[in-house]
Structure 1
Amino acid sequence: MSIDPHAYNISIRRDNFDGEVLFEARVKELPDLVEYGESYQEAYDLVVDSIETAAAAFAEKGRTFPAATVPTDDFSGRVTLRLPRSLHRVLAETAESEGVSLNQHLVNVLSYFSGFAAGNQGEDLSSWRTVSSVQKTKKTTRPSHLRLVRSDELESLKASWG
């Protein structure tokens, strides 16, 4: 039996493991299979090789190897969510102040945080952080050359600009 190891659902994340930054590759269909590499590509190559090796070992022993799952489009876009009344109130009030429906506000919040997580791949994503826990730092790459000019100084400064 020939399998395509690339058809399996492989997820790779970068994280700090025992003080060393590595890429961890996991296979959804084979939860016990984990590989680590110093680069994304190395972790991917190792896990693909491990899938092939595991399939060969299963075949030698006459065991059935788990098939790759095929993604389905069984998602209606509808979710029922239970949450504390206080959170419901805060979300509804925020949505009202933004001038959008509660549903649209929840979609915006979830979309933002999904993108936020994806955009912070280089950071430690092993734990969730609230927006308020993120340190706000002013990022400037060069000094500003802007100057506040009062209107009564404008005419005298125009001559020096020309």
Structure 2
Amino acid sequence: MKTLNQKNQQIEKPSLEYYLNLQYPVTLYPDPEEGYVAQIKDLPGCLTQGETLEETMANLNEARELWIETAYEADDNIPLPSSNDSYSGKLLLGMPKSLHRRLAETSEREGVSLNQYIVSLLSAVT
């Protein structure tokens, strides 16, 4: 599919596959009624929830794909992921004590630090 730029020149629009393979930053919130809410702020209205972290991330991936496919088919603008330049790689995260305990116990069984275990979980679902 071709589009026109500001100088009325035809340019090739990236493929749907290109947009689906972009890695968007995810924001996770603990849900006060148990579970999680996840959001991709770069894609307005792209958010979901789930009872477990795994369910929430699976739901968010499905929501992201549907958001991008719908925007692509409507020829709407699909924002690129926000830059990592303003992120330090560190984050303070609050979570329920029971989740903290389960994560710490599992990381100990796996023989890795809690931080390393959480990063591996998040990497697997994003």
The normalised TM-score by structure 2 is: 0.53
Counterpart among 20, 26, 51 of residue 38 in structure 1: 51
Structure 2 counterpart of 1:51, from 36, 40, 64: 64
- For residues 74 and 38 of structure 1, what CA distance do their matches in structure 2 show? 28
Correspondence for 1:9: 25
1:62 aligned partner, one-letter code = D
Contact 2:20 2:68 in 1 (8 A): no
Quote the offset at 1:35 in angstroms: 0.2
Q: Matched residues, percent identical?
A: 16
1:12, 1:26 within 8 Å by CA — same for their partners in 2? yes
Distance 1:6 1:74, change over 3 A: closer
Partners in 2 of 1:5 and 1:35 — Cα distance?
A: 19
Partner letter of residue 75 of structure 2? G
Q: Quick check: 1:29 aligned with 2:45?
A: no
Read off the aligned partner of 2:95 and give its amino acid letter. Q
SS in 1 for 2:34: strand
- Report how many aligned residue pairs link the two structures: 79
How far apart are 1:26 and its partner, in Å? Answer: 0.8
Query: Unaligned 5+ residue runs, structure 1?
Result: 76-113, 124-162
Structure-2 residue corresponding to 1:140: none
Change (3 A) 1:6 1:43: farther
Q: Please report the RMSD computed on the Cα atoms of aligned residues, expressed in angstroms.
A: 2.4
**Structure 2 unaligned residues grouped into runs of 5+:** 1-14, 98-126
Which stretch has the larger CA shift, 49-58 or 5-14? 5-14
Q: Which has the higher contact order (CA 8 A, sep 6+)?
A: 2
Q: Determine the structure 2 residue equivalent to 1:64.
A: 77
Q: Which has the larger radius of gyration?
A: 1
Distance of 1:56 and 1:70 partners within structure 2: 22
The one-letter code sitting in structure 2 at the alignment partner of 1:7 is Q
